[in-house]
Amino acid sequence: PISSSPPVVEATSFLMLSLATMGALALRAGPLVSRGASTRLSALQMSTFATFKTSKGDIKAELMMDKLPITCSNFADLAKTGFYDGLTFHRVIQGFMCQFGCPHSKDPKSPRAGTGGPEPGSTYTTPDGTTITRTGGNIPDELIEPISNEVGTLSMANTGMPNSGGSQIFINTKHNAFLDYFDPSTPSKHPVFGKVVDGMDVLLAIEKVPTGQGDKPIDPVTVNTIEISED
């Protein structure tokens, strides 16, 4: 389903979405920990949350930063730098998922909505201090935690090719186990990197909005901003 490349994928072509495998970066540790390293270790031990401030209300999700640092740090960086501000949910399918994160969706009528991603060559940093480059606007696959695409989970969209995730994500409104990278029944490989902890009623309200061609909401649902916080 969860394609982030043209054309807009219809509900019947869900299986074209796939990721390839790649290990995550291991947290570096040693007998002597510098002050900077200690700060990074503390960051990993904290809980990271993302609050979607949408035109329908707020959705708060916890990011699994300790489990998928590459994927979560990418999302958090895009949120903090305002990349997601003003974008719309460009694909909504009741009983399936709500997809978001394409920069072209700022114009909800754009035929390119669902095809974009971050700036190629842009960078961000993981909690252990590693700098990741978005080669071609994409991030490395991080298929290391067998977390299923259950209701309320945040998962990465991709084109079906290895290392093709970028900024687009989807929030599951059904347990879509066939999207799990560890489910051998389909080629779909979508890593889960977060879960809604508050605002499921808002997500379900978004899921029920009337949609038109390409599963685009007739009345746009806008994410005004995404706030990142740590506890």
User: How many C-beta neighbours within 10 Å does residue 131 have?
Assistant: 8
* 8 A C-beta contact, residue 53 and residue 223: yes
Burial of 85 by CB count in 10 Å (0-12 exposed, 13-18 middle, 19+ buried)? middle
> Distance (Å, rounded) from C-alpha 138 to C-alpha 158?
9
> Distance (Å, rounded) from C-alpha 67 to C-alpha 73?
11
Residues with catalytic function: 91, 96, 99, 158, 170, 179, 190
